């Protein structure tokens, strides 16, 4: 099991920290241990249930995070277990500058 912030209903609030199953990974996936996560405007809008897009619940919140790869799928070649990674779904990540390498 792992901890996750879950939006569990369609009203304001209705967000809680829950224990959820660790996901199984496929051949092109990686599993990482999240070390830090950010909260941004879209997370607040989801908490308030005021998103401009439909949110199906329950849903695990968060798209800005960093962590360490714990497991990789058999087809993954660019990353290895132990690599430190970052994700931000709306920004370009070059992987070469000092910020990406930090």
- Which tens digit of pLDDT belongs to each residue from 81-94? 999 998 876 656 66
> What's the chain's Rg over C-alpha atoms?
15
- Tell me if the pTM is above 0.75: no
Nearest-angstrom CA–CA distance, 92 and 73: 24
Nearest-angstrom CA–CA distance, 98 and 102: 6
26-49 per-position pLDDT tens digit: 999 999 999 998 888 877 887 787
Distance, CA of 31 to chain centre: 10
All structural domains of the chain: 2-101 (3.90.180.10)
Assign residue 37 a region (left: φ > 0; alpha: ψ between -120 and 50; beta: otherwise). beta
């Amino acid at each position: 099991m792992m901890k996750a912030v879950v939006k569990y209903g369609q009203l304001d609030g209705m967000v809680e920290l829950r224990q959820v199953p660790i996901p199984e990974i496929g051949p092109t996936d990686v599993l990482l241990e999240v070390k830090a996560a950010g909260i941004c405007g879209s997370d607040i809008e989801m908490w308030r249930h005021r998103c401009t897009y439909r949110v199906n619940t329950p849903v695990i919140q968060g798209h800005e995070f960093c962590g360490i790869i714990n497991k990789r799928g058999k087809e993954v070649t660019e990353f290895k277990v132990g690599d430190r990674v970052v994700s931000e779904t709306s920004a370009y990540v070059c992987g070469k500058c000092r910020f990406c390498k930090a």
